[in-house]
Amino acid sequence: MPSPRDAASIDGSTEGRPAKIGGATLPARPALEVNNVEVIYDEVILVLRGLSLSVPEGSIVALLGSNGAGKSTTLKAITGLVSTEHGEVTEGSIQFRGEELTRLDPAEIVRRGLSLVMEGRHVFEHLSVRENLVAGAYTRSGLDAEREQMVYDYFPSLKERSAMRAGYLSGGEQQMLAIGRALMAEPTLLMLDEPSLGLAPKLVKEIFDIIKRLNRELGTTVLLVEQNARRALEIAEHGFIMESGRIVLDGPAAELADNPDVREFYLGLSETGRRSYRDVKHYRRRKRWL
Ligand code: ATP
C-alpha cells in the first residue's frame, strides 16, 4: 500500500507529484488516506470492518471487489453520504490532504475538492443538460462559463444536446453528464462508482479514455470503483481489492493484473484461458488471500 506520507514535504515544490531527491523518485504524497474505517448502517449492520486505503495525489487508483464487498459504502463514507442512509463512520479516520473529513457536511466535502459520480448515472431527468451542469456548480459561486466549456470539450455530444432534457439522453450520454456535472464542482479528487455499468464496450472505452485524460490533462486524482477489473487496471496505477468490508490485497495495477488469483477471480482468465462462472465460483473458495 502506498504510504509515502512525507514525499512532498521533503521537496515542497512537488505539488503532490513524485518528488526527485538525490536522483531517486519518491512516490507522491497521499491525497486521500482512509485509516481503519468502520461503517455501521442502522446502528447494527457492520459493513466496513477496518478499511484502510490510500490514494496518492495525481494518481488513478482502482477499488475492486465482488458484489456487496462494501465499495459503494467506502465512497459514501468518504463523501459523508453514509449519514443520508442511516449509516455512520464509527471508527477510524478519513483524511484529505491531511484534514479530517469524517463528520463534515457532504456539501463541505465537495467544497474541499472531492466529487462523487454515483453508481447508476444519476442525472436530474427533468432538467436540461445545461441545467444539470449548473446544478453541479452549486458549491461554487456560480456557473463558470469556462468550466462549462471545458466539460463540453471533454464531452462534445453534451454541447450539441445542452438544451435537451437529460431524461432523453442515451445511457452513455447520461453517464457523461453525470461525470460532467461532478466536474463543475472543480474536484481535485474525482470518485466514480462503476461508470461502465450497463454500457456497450465502445462507450466503456470512451469513458475510460476520458477519465485517463482528466487525470493527465487536469491533474485530477481519481478513485475508481469498478466491476470491470480489466479496464480499471489498464488505466489505474494502483489497485485495492476488497472483500467483506476490508482490503484483502493491493499493489501496482500491472502486478494485480498478473496475479493468478486476480486473473481467475476478477478477470475470468487462467493459464488455460477463460473460465466459466461456475469455475470461478469454485476457485473463489480457495483464493490465497482468504
Ligand atoms: P455492489 O458492487 O453490488 O454495488 P458494493 O461493493 O458497492 O456492492 P455496498 O453497496 O457498499 O457494496 O454494500 C455493502 C453491504 O452493505 C451490502 O451487504 C449491502 O446490503 C449493505 N448496505 C449497503 N447500503 C446499505 C444501507 N443503506 N443500509 C443497510 N445496509 C446497506
- Distance (angstroms) between ligand 1 centre and the Cα of 112 equals 26
CA angle 77-78-84, nearest 5°? Answer: 45
For the stretch 50-83, pLDDT in tens is: 999 999 999 999 999 988 899 999 999 999 999 9
The average pLDDT across 154-160 equals 94
Q: Kindly give the number of the ligand 1 atom that is closest to the alpha carbon of 74.
A: 11
Percent of the residues in the chain that have a pLDDT greater than 70, as a whole number = 81
CA distances for 113 relative to 184, 188, 190, angstroms: 11, 5, 8
- Distance (angstroms) between ligand 1 centre and the Cα of 73 equals 6
Q: Kindly give the number of the ligand 1 atom that is closest to the alpha carbon of 85.
A: 27
Q: What pLDDT score does 27 carry?
A: 58
Separation CA 14–CA 29 (nearest Å): 9
For the stretch 166-201, pLDDT in tens is: 999 999 999 999 999 999 999 999 999 999 988 888
More confident residue, 142 or 115: 115
Confidence class for position 238, pLDDT limits 50, 70, 90:
very high
Q: Kindly give the number of the ligand 1 atom that is closest to the alpha carbon of 69.
A: 6
Confidence class for position 255, pLDDT limits 50, 70, 90:
very high
The average pLDDT across 225-230 equals 89
Pocket of ligand 1 (CB under 6 A): 41-42, 45, 47, 65, 67-73, 85, 87
Separation CA 191–CA 7 (nearest Å): 23
Helix ranges (DSSP H) in the chain:
7-10, 71-78, 106-111, 129-136, 145-154, 156-160, 171-183, 201-218, 229-235, 253-258, 260-265, 277-284
Mean pLDDT in the chain?
84
- Distance (angstroms) between ligand 1 centre and the Cα of 26 equals 36
What is the three-class DSSP state of 188?
coil
Residues 6+ apart with CB under 8 A from 65: 71, 241, 242, 243
Q: What is the DSSP letter of 165?
A: B
Cell of 248: 484483502
Q: Ligand 1, from 34, 72, 196, 242: best to mutate by most atoms within 8 Å of Cβ?
A: 72
Confidence class for position 274, pLDDT limits 50, 70, 90:
very low
- Pick the residue whose CA is nearest to atom 9 on ligand 1: 70
Is the CB of residue 59 less than 8 Å from the CB of residue 221?
yes
Q: What pLDDT score does 285 carry?
A: 46
Is the CB of residue 118 less than 8 Å from the CB of residue 191?
no
Q: What pLDDT score does 288 carry?
A: 56
Percent of the residues in the chain that have a pLDDT greater than 90, as a whole number = 64
- Pick the residue whose CA is nearest to atom 2 on ligand 1: 67
- Pick the residue whose CA is nearest to atom 15 on ligand 1: 68
Confidence class for position 122, pLDDT limits 50, 70, 90:
confident
The type of residue at 194 is E
Cell of 9: 514535504
What is the three-class DSSP state of 228?
coil
- Pick the residue whose CA is nearest to atom 24 on ligand 1: 73
Backbone angles phi, psi at 90, to 5 degrees: -100, -15
How far does CA 225 lie from the centroid of its chain? 5
User: In this model, does residue 10 exceed pLDDT 50?
Assistant: no
Q: Ligand 1, from 71, 74, 88, 118: best to mutate by most atoms within 8 Å of Cβ?
A: 71
Q: What pLDDT score does 272 carry?
A: 52
Q: What pLDDT score does 103 carry?
A: 84
Is the CB of residue 239 less than 8 Å from the CB of residue 256?
yes
- Annotated domain spans of the chain: 259-290
- Pick the residue whose CA is nearest to atom 20 on ligand 1: 68
Cell of 197: 455499468
